[in-house]
């Protein structure tokens, strides 16, 4: 393959690893390299990625920088939260949900620039390689994919640094850069490696970059109101903002109150278990609030059907199948359920806790106190319950009369 590649689009962060990859692609594949840097809210300066690319000999017209923040939250994060998606009971899929958008945009740049290949900096043991590559192939099945970590022999920190030195790539560490392996975007930050490699170890307090520790969070709680329309957040404290601004605002609130830290061992798609720590301040609030607005507006069986399908939906996203017929089918089902999910949720934030303290929906609440209290109401005749129970029990009664024991 090496001699056949003419032009490759690299997912480029401006960091050391992808800078080494950039150089390595030029050297090994002797091909033109284009860089693509997406702003999905990772909080790094895009300008410096551009300078770095220029310094590594990339032509200005070959440097692509895109602000994907609004698209990311509107078309990826929000649809996923309609499903209340959680992987393995805990993980809010912060990394997983960003990869398809990056892959799609990168594939589109490849198509538009006539590139025949794409490349990324994900390692050969992780989930991200799968998510990137499934995304590329779903968009352009003819793209060649270069995954340097699976190809080269720079398989240790030392070899990488030696390679960088040899090729005059700046290896000076950014001040304050985390020693952990991290991923960040508008939804979350993840941490892997170092002390985390032993799941018996707690994370170090100074690992966390975003949220306050619950212990250092304000002693006063804060009450906020979130408003939803068709299952999507549209206002915080009655203020309408764009999707990405809403999530930014939620993140700020969550981070301040020590909300959204998570420390888990998860099962990677490629088969092994891995330890990760996550900060998802806004997402943690959003999930709680979305469940709460659904609790008064969504039909019972719609709720249960969503709950039963959620693990499958979350797994698809985790495994990289965002762009797949089955995810799109499930999304159609989920979106269909959200048309009446309108209303407001009041939440109290306090030292790591998100508590729902009120929910209302002017038009779409299915809750009616008259129905649930034990007194009479217009729709419910208590005598009906006898027949309901009797027929629900019928098969058990027949089995019992037949001598079966439970």
Catalytic machinery residues:
17, 99, 128, 181
CB of 360 to a second copy, least distance (A): 4
- CA 221 from centroid of its chain's CA atoms: 27
Q: How far apart are CA 197 and CA 23, in angstroms?
A: 30
14: phi then psi, degrees, rounded to nearest 5 = 90, -5
* Residue 91 annotated in ligand binding: yes
The residue count for binding a second copy (CB under 8 A) is 132
Binding track over 281-300 against a second copy, x by CB under 8 A: ----------xx--xx--xx
Q: Which of residues 87-146 bind a second copy (CB under 8 A)?
A: 88-90, 123-126, 129-130, 133-134, 137-142
Q: Which of residues 372-391 bind a second copy (CB under 8 A)?
A: 372-376, 379-391
Measure the CA–CA gap between 266 and 199, rounded to whole angstroms.
11
What CA–CA distance (Å, rounded) separates 148 from 121? 7
Instruction: Specify the stretch interacting with a second copy by CB under 8 A; choose among 35-43, 63-71, 108-116, 326-334.
Output: 326-334
Q: How far apart are CA 71 and CA 33, in angstroms?
A: 26
- Among 51, 59, 165, 273, contact with a second copy (rule: CB under 8 A): 273
Confirm or deny that 13 is annotated as ligand binding: yes
17 belongs to an annotated ligand binding site: yes
Residue from 3, 60, 61, 156 touching a second copy (CB under 8 A): that is 156
From the list 15, 65, 70, 193, which residue makes contact with a second copy (rule: CB under 8 A)?
Answer: 193
Q: What contacts 98, CB < 8 A, 6 or more positions away?
A: 40, 72, 76, 183, 185, 187
Comparing CB distances to a second copy, the nearer of 141 and 176 is 141
Asked if 260 and 211 touch (Cβ cutoff 8 Å), the reply is yes
Give whichever of 173 and 300 is closer to a second copy, judged by the CB atom.
300
Minimum distance, C-beta of residue 26 to a second copy, in the bound complex (Å)? 22
Measured from the CB atom, the residue of 26 and 267 that comes closer to a second copy is: 267
Minimum Å gap between C-beta 112 and a second copy is: 16
Give the separation between CA 70 and CA 206, rounded to whole angstroms: 30
| Residue 15 among known ligand-binding residues | yes
d(CA 272, CA 58): 37
Among 6, 7, 245, 315, binds a second copy (CB under 8 A): 315
Taking the complex as a whole, the smallest distance from the CB of residue 77 to a second copy amounts, in Å, to: 18
Cβ closest to a second copy, residue 157 vs residue 166:
157
How many CB atoms are closer than 10 A to CB 282? 28
CB of 103 to a second copy, least distance (A): 11
φ, ψ of residue 360 to 5 degrees: the values are -150, 155
Task: Please report, as residue ranges, which positions from 199 to 238 form the binding site for a second copy (by CB under 8 A).
Answer: 199-203, 214-215, 221
User: Is residue 329 a contact point for a second copy (CB under 8 A)?
Assistant: yes
- 121 assigned binding-site residue: yes
CA 154 remoteness from chain centre: 29
Report in angstroms how near the CB of residue 106 gets to a second copy at its nearest.
15
State the alpha helices, DSSP H only, in 239-299.
243-256, 281-297
Question: Using CB under 8 A, which residues numbered 44 to 83 contact a second copy?
Answer: none
Report how far residue 242's alpha carbon sits from residue 399's, in angstroms, rounded to the nearest whole number.
58
Helices (H) and strands (E) in the chain, counts: 14, 14
Length of the chain in residues, anyone? 406
Smallest separation (angstroms) from a second copy to the CB of 98: 17
* H or E stretch at 17: helix 16-29
**Taking a C-beta distance cutoff of 8 angstroms, is the pair 174, 180 a contact?**
no
Alpha-carbon gap, residue 44 to 18, rounded angstroms: 15
Determine whether the annotation assigns residue 190 to a binding site. yes
Flag whether 305 is marked binding. no
CA distances to 169, 199, 211, 215, 255 from 206, rounded to whole Å, are 29, 18, 11, 13, 14
Coil, strand or helix at 234: strand
| Positions 340 through 359 that interact with a second copy (CB under 8 A) | 340, 346, 348, 350-353, 355-359
Binding residues for L-aspartate: 123, 127-128
Query: Residue positions in the annotated binding site for ATP?
Result: 11-19, 38, 121
Which residues are annotated as part of the binding site for L-citrulline? 91, 96, 127, 131, 181, 190, 266, 278
């Amino acid at each position: 393959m090496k001699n056949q590649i003419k032009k490759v689009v690299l997912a480029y962060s401006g960091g050391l690893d992808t800078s080494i990859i950039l150089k390595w692609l030029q050297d090994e594949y002797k091909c033109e390299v284009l860089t693509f840097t997406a702003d999905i809210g990772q909080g790094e300066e895009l300008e410096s990625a551009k300078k770095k690319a220029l310094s590594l000999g990339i032509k200005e017209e070959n440097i692509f920088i895109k602000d994907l923040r609004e698209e990311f939250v509107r078309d990826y994060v929000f649809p996923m939260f309609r499903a209340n998606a959680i992987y393995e009971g805990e993980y809010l899929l912060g990394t997983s949900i960003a990869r398809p958008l990056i892959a799609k945009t990168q594939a589109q740049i490849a198509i538009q620039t006539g590139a025949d290949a794409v490349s990324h900096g994900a390692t050969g043991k992780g989930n991200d390689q799968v998510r990137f590559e499934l995304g590329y192939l779903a968009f352009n099945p003819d793209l060649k994919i270069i995954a340097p970590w699976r190809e080269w022999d720079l398989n240790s920190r030392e070899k990488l640094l030696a390679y960088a030195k040899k090729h005059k790539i700046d290896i000076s560490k950014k001040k304050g850069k985390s020693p952990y392996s991290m991923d960040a975007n508008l939804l979350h930050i993840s941490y892997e490696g170092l002390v985390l490699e032993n799941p018996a170890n707690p994370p170090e307090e100074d690992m966390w970059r975003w949220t306050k520790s619950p212990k250092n969070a304000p002693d006063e709680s804060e009450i906020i109101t979130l408003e939803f329309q068709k299952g999507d957040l549209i206002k915080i404290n009655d203020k309408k903002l764009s999707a990405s601004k809403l999530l930014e605002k939620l993140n700020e609130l969550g981070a301040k109150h020590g909300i959204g830290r998570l420390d888990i061992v998860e099962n990677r798609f490629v088969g092994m278990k891995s330890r990760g720590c996550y900060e998802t301040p806004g997402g943690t609030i959003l999930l709680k609030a979305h469940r709460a607005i659904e609790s008064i507006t969504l039909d019972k069986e719609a709720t249960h059907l969503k709950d039963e399908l959620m693990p499958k939906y979350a797994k698809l996203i985790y495994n990289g199948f965002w762009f797949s017929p089955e995810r799109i089918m499930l999304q159609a089902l989920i979106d269909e359920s959200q048309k009446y999910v309108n209303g407001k949720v009041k939440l109290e934030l306090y030292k790591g806790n998100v508590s729902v303290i009120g929910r209302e929906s002017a038009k779409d609440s299915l809750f009616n106190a008259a129905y649930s209290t034990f007194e009479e109401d217009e729709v419910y005749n208590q005598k009906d319950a006898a027949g309901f129970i009797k027929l629900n029990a019928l098969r058990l009664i027949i089995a019992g009369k037949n001598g079966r024991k439970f």
